[in-house]
Amino acid sequence: MRTTATVGQSDEAEGPGTPSTEADESWQIRYTAADLDRLAETESLFALANGWLGWRGCLDEGEPYGMPGSYLNGFYEQRKLSFPEDAYAYPEISDTVVSVPNAALIRLWVDGEPLDVRTGTLRTHERILDLRAGVVRRETEWISPGGRGVRIRSVRLVSLHRRPIGAVRYEVEPLDATVHVRVCSDLLANERLPERADDPRAATVITDPLTAERRRSDGLDGVLVHRTEHSGQRVAVAVAHLVDAPPTVAADVDCTPDRLRLTLTGPLRSGERLRLTKFAAHECTPVDGMGPDELADLVVAEAAAARADGFGTLLHTQRATLDVTWRTAELELDGDLELQLATRFALFHLMQAGRADGDRTIPAKGLTGNGYDGHVLWDTESYVLPVLTYLNPPLARSALRWRHAHLPEARERAVELRLAGAAFPWRTIGGRECSAYWPAGTAALHVNADIADAVLRYVAATGDDAFLAETGLDLLVETARLWHRYGHRSETGSFHIHGVTGPDEYTGLVNDNVFTNLMARRNLRGAADAVERHPDRAARLDVDEAEVAAWRAAADAMFVPYDRERGVHQQSSGFTSGPEWDFENTSEDDYPLLLHYPYLELYRKQVVKQADLVLAMLRCPGEFTADEKARNVAYYEARTVRDSSLSAGPQAVLAAEVGHLDLAYDLFAESVLQDLRDLGDKTADGLHLASLAGSWLALVQGFGGMRDDRGILSFAPRLPSRLHRLAFSLLWHGHRLRVTLTRDEARYELPDADAATTVEVWHDGERLRVTGDTPVVRPMPAVPQPGPEPLFPPGRRPARRESH
């Protein structure tokens, strides 16, 4: 299918379409080289998303690339799982994220030679991720192998305001002499992806996952509609163009089942410019929902509406949306400019990972890559939602409503496992269990308590009782039922939970994992309290007084293993009596251990992949004394290798609490730089959102000393030597509380509230009433005097953060 069209002047004024060139480097991730060895990593760093649509930060021209990707939240294909030895209740099908047709591509040929940063001469090449404007800007000066020079400027965004819309503006002009250009704006389905067979955590590549259903073009515009074969989903992407070019430039449109291409060809003389602006609209739906023609009409209309409003309007609303977001999310660090920028980078990606409308969740990699097959894991509820609850509560509510929408599948899984209530999956996209390795999947039942914990935190922070009655209660009740059925009473009357895997995946199938038991206790008590607040709703769930009493009794009798001889809690029963790992004879090349040692070796020894007992002390701080926390930190740091990006953030919080502030700062730096420095060699597959969230936890819960486990907001702040000032905001019952910490004082204020507004907080054990008219200032509390800094396995201490 081929059409031709006339190129003319776009009717959009240039003014608002030109992004700000604000020079504040602390808000810009800037790369000034092609960095061909790190293409996939930079594509993750420069990814843009809005919680529904995600575009990886590939070069406009598409070549060279590390891993292209254009994703819609919840769009996936299914594949069959096979086992050499099958068994009952093994998952038979797994979900895998697949790219939708890629609309970000704009290719360029100069006098017949394709622009490729690997060829010719790259005079300049700069890409900027602007964290305030929410765009990626690029400027390149390239001399072709034939000696022809051009300057390319582009601006790309994924609209935070308009859910389906991504847009890119691409400009090319000669550097001196006349050049003949060919510019191709592509919409491409079934792009080829590279496979990584060296790491089991890498995504499974499904070849040609999309089957074409409809294609059509109209003038400079067009649409492609595809469907998946197994997951039963349909996707449509439409593009609408604006072209501003000399009249000698001609246009042609070619449409095939997997590609729609607008081609612009003609000469550009010195001083002339070709500007192409592309607006792309994306939607997906179940195949048994909207038909292909109806879906095509929908996205065509959305793309046309975006074009009618103009690129400048998209830029303006993008900045305005982020201005509102940053008002709460902004976190100020005085004393370390690199980590100030890194913290803003982390918060930017957390904010664009979720969406308040549509009840969508947040995968482990967000929409920045296909790592972990695009699955949702416990990371969302245990790391990301504790941040979003305080910075953007609607995003947290949406993710929890997504869990609620998949309660039917969780109930079915519980029945399959001979349990009660709901058993939420360890890994999923579509709601069913996708984890093929059951000791670290099915047995990791703590995901159910993690979801309940996120519900309780959200309700406590927002006071959203309607959410509790309509959504939260169901989640709390069904997860409480699972724990009551799965656990058992011993002869001494203690309640035990056996045969689980906790957060530490190097210790599988254990009895009485402390994190799991304490989180289950919180789950059981939280469910009982919620039932008593909403008895009518609970009655519809067939909850009676006897069941509530049984939950409370189980919670009160929950067993928590403790090694009295060593004076520490056992991560799980018997953990501290197991053989020690031979760290002295483990080389740096042996990490991560899961790629070099069998689980048979890992499971039986005292080696910890990531924070587990330490995470229990963060999530349930009231269950431990100050002395217990200090001894536990010392014991478990010596055995924790941090082969997971989830670890450094919680470790930083507890290190700060027990007084090891320099160590806490080093752990915070590791967490926040996880992707910017690709510390785990996994950024190519997408960003580590949990690690980015962990950096906020390290600052706010570590140095800010914020705790929320009792339904009240308390602070016990302290600053490390390398910070002069720390300031952050968080939302509490709809009010923005601003906290500013210096060496001498802690300041609490409500900058947006009137004089009648009051928020209660606790500072170092003192109850404070903060009002809208007068800040409350208190001296910084004394920092606990710690013992010697904890030992780490050789070579596994976080890098010392030098003064900057």
Q: What is the pLDDT of residue 194?
A: 81
Q: Name the pLDDT band for 680 (thresholds 50, 70, 90).
A: confident
Neighbours of 161 (CB within 10 A): 14
Contacts of 460 (CB under 8 A, 6+ apart): 708, 711
CATH T-level fold of 2-18+28-82+89-302 = Beta-galactosidase; Chain A, domain 5 (2.70.98)
Q: What is the pLDDT of residues 329-341, one digit of tens each?
A: 999 999 999 999 9
Does the active-site annotation cover 505? yes
Task: Kindly tell me the sign of the dihedral angle through the C-alpha atoms of 676, 682, 683, 689.
Answer: negative
> How is the beta sheet containing 2-5 ordered, strand by strand?
2-5, 250-256, 259-268, 179-188, 102-110, 113-114
Give the H or E element holding residue 469.
Answer: none
Give yes or no for residue 39 having a pLDDT over 70.
yes
In the beta sheet, which residues pair with residue 153?
A: 139, 171
What is the helix (H) or strand (E) element at residue 367, kind and residue range? Answer: none
- CA-CA distance, 366 to 349, in Å (whole number)? 8
Q: State pLDDT tens for residues 372-401.
A: 999 999 999 999 999 999 999 999 999 999
What is the per-residue pLDDT across 639-670, written as a single tens digit (0 to 9) for each?
Answer: 999 999 999 999 999 999 999 999 999 999 99
| Active-site choice (505, 547, 623, 657) | 505
Which pLDDT belongs to residue 17? 37
* Alpha carbon distance 648, 699 (integer Å): 12
Confidence of residue 34 (pLDDT cuts 50, 70, 90): confident
pLDDT at 85: 87
Q: Span 716-738, mean pLDDT?
A: 97
Residues 488-496 have a mean pLDDT of 97
| pLDDT single digits (tens) 54-92 | 999 999 999 999 999 999 999 999 999 988 888 999 999
The H-or-E segment that residue 758 falls in is strand 758-763
Query: For 185-220, how does the pLDDT look when each residue is reduced to its tens digit (9 = 90+)?
Result: 999 999 998 876 555 556 678 999 999 999 999 999
Give the pLDDT score at 467: 98
Rounded distance between C-alpha atoms, residue 44 and residue 55, angstroms = 9
Give the DSSP H/E element, type plus range, for residue 178.
none
pLDDT at 711: 83
Percent of the chain with pLDDT over 70: 96
Give the CA distances from residue 699 to residues 332, 650, 694, 696, 760, in Å, rounded to whole numbers and listed in that order: 10, 10, 9, 5, 21
Amino acid 386 reads P
Tell me the per-residue pLDDT of 556-568, one tens digit each, with 9 for 90 and over: 999 999 999 999 9
Q: Indicate the SS3 state at residue 731.
A: strand
Q: What is the pLDDT of residue 197?
A: 58
Residues 6 or more apart in contact with residue 261 via CB below 8 angstroms = 184, 185, 186, 187, 253, 254, 255
Q: What is the pLDDT of residues 137-158, one digit of tens each?
A: 999 999 999 999 999 999 999 9
pLDDT tens, residue by residue, 543-599: 999 999 999 999 999 999 999 999 999 999 999 999 999 999 999 999 999 999 999
For residue 376, what is the DSSP state? B
262 pLDDT above the threshold of 70: yes
pLDDT at 200: 58
The model's pLDDT over 106-135, given as tens digits with 9 standing for 90+, comes to 999 999 999 999 999 999 999 999 999 999
Whose CA is closest to 647, among 610, 683, 618, 608?
A: 610
Any idea what DSSP says for residue 707? B
Asked whether residue 6 carries a pLDDT value surpassing 50, the answer given is: no
Give yes or no for residue 18 having a pLDDT over 70. Answer: no
The pLDDT tens digits of the residues spanning 524-544 come to 999 999 999 999 999 999 999
Q: Which two tokens stand for residue 437?
A: 């390795």
Could you give the 3-state DSSP secondary structure of residue 544?
coil
Q: What is the pLDDT of residue 204?
A: 79
- What was the pLDDT predicted at 202? 64
Tokens of 25: 């480097």
Specify which residues 125 forms β-bridges with. 140
pTM: 0.95
Angle between helices 473-486 and 446-462 (to 10 degrees): 150
Query: Binding site for substrate: which residues?
Result: 378-379, 609-610
What are the boundaries of each domain within the chain?
A: 2-18+28-82+89-302
Residue 23, pLDDT score = 52
| Cα–Cα nearest to 369, from 61, 688, 75, 51 | 688
Residue 672 has pLDDT above 70, yes or no: yes
Residue 164 has pLDDT above 90, yes or no: yes
pLDDT reported for residue 196: 63
Reported confidence tier of residue 105, pLDDT bands at 50, 70, 90: very high
